[in-house]
Structure 1
């Protein structure tokens, strides 16, 4: 069964170009011309991936990205003409999984879509058994991509889950940002290695709450991150 991609793009020509390109590569496409409609279709269709433009009528792409993350862990690729690092960082902090700048090479977009979906589909690298830490305060189930903290389910995106799992597989070790980038993303992405810290920041927000108190993931300044739990 083909994977479904929801494209939220108000430019009909651009939307058709992307639709035809992805349909040619075997994907099923659903189009939406504004943010509010896009959120409705997200709920109705339950797509495997969302391609999101930032400049939209009624509700801009930032607001749409934020709303999607409130209700779903579906992968998001932001597609926009905005090139600044600040814009990319903002998208990553809001929960986007990748960032494609217009104009783009058609095959580059296909490669990025395939890469994000592959990270979603792939089973975790090594462990398949449930991992318990701190006497069960933290439970990670690699098979079901589920995380439970203090008895409560925590919704992580596939990328966030892979970061957590990679760190948890190396407890007590200092893992560099470069190692996280290589093992979670590889190299076929526009996510910069320096942006990894924003993903870790977002992961910590979910694991440790808004206080920022380090409970499971500790920063080793100038070296990387260390997962500490027993």
Structure 2
């Protein structure tokens, strides 16, 4: 279900558009007061925004620039201002499309779905580069955090480095030496104890919050192996 935010000071236009898109099984929020639009963008989190240009107090171009400080979802301008300069200004303000009034609602829907699909595909690709998915666990490499079913598991920096290294080699047996070298840059046999202590602490934190005690398995006399669990 697509979530659409429509911003226009013309209430009749909002009502007609809202009805059409709801019939297409979209979830729609409308806003006829531009000064309230930013709070709606933050709370509603739309997949796409329809934005009029000529509105009181703040015009659509200025509002779009403010919206771009909050979200990168597609913004489609719907306007009777159709000069080349108007269109250029719309795109420079951060708009993704500029549709002249009057317009076909069928075409508007088609344009919206096209923009949203591209936006979602781009977001998924970007997310995949910073997320290691170990369902029901995942690691956010950008935030340096470990999560279980969306809830953060508080761990130290060294424990994060440890679980990240294991996650990059999920399912593989990793030796004490490989772990020690990764965490401290070098390894001697007496470092095995340090590796074991860090793994033990990490396990306790994971089990204490999730109840799962087999996320990191011991490979007897050799090292450890991180298991990708299936719910």
Q: Which runs of 5+ in 2 are unaligned?
A: 132-141, 144-231
Question: How many residues are treated as equivalent by the alignment?
Answer: 133
| Match 1:143 to one of 128, 131, 137 | 128
The 3 A distance-change label for structure 1 pair 145 and 105 is farther
Alignment partner, residue 99 of structure 2: 100
Alignment partner, residue 113 of structure 2: 114
| TM-align CA RMSD | 2.5
Tell me the CA shift for residue 118 of structure 1: 1.3
The 3 A distance-change label for structure 1 pair 123 and 86 is closer
Alignment partner, residue 16 of structure 2: 17
**CA–CA distance in structure 2, aligned partners of residues 115 and 145 of structure 1:** 25
TM-score (norm 2): 0.53
Alignment partner, residue 60 of structure 1: 59
**CA–CA distance in structure 1, aligned partners of residues 92 and 130 of structure 2:** 21
**Aligned ranges 1:70-81 → 2 under 5 Å:** 70-81=69-80
**CA–CA distance in structure 2, aligned partners of residues 20 and 145 of structure 1:** 39
The C-alpha deviation readout for 1:78-133, integer Å capped at 9, x for no partner, is 01111111111111111111111100112111111111111112369xxx7xxxxx
Tell me if structure 2 keeps the 8 A contact 1:55–1:61: yes
Alignment partner, residue 84 of structure 2: 85
**CA–CA distance in structure 2, aligned partners of residues 28 and 103 of structure 1:** 23
TM-score (norm 1): 0.53
The 3 A distance-change label for structure 1 pair 86 and 38 is same
| DSSP 3-state at the match of 2:68 | helix
Where do 4+ consecutive residues of structure 1 move more than 6 Å? Answer: none
Tell me if structure 1 keeps the 8 A contact 2:62–2:93: no
Q: Give the number of the structure with larger relative contact order, counting CA–CA contacts within 8 Å between residues 6 or more apart.
A: 1
Q: Which runs of 5+ in 1 are unaligned?
A: 129-140, 147-151, 154-230
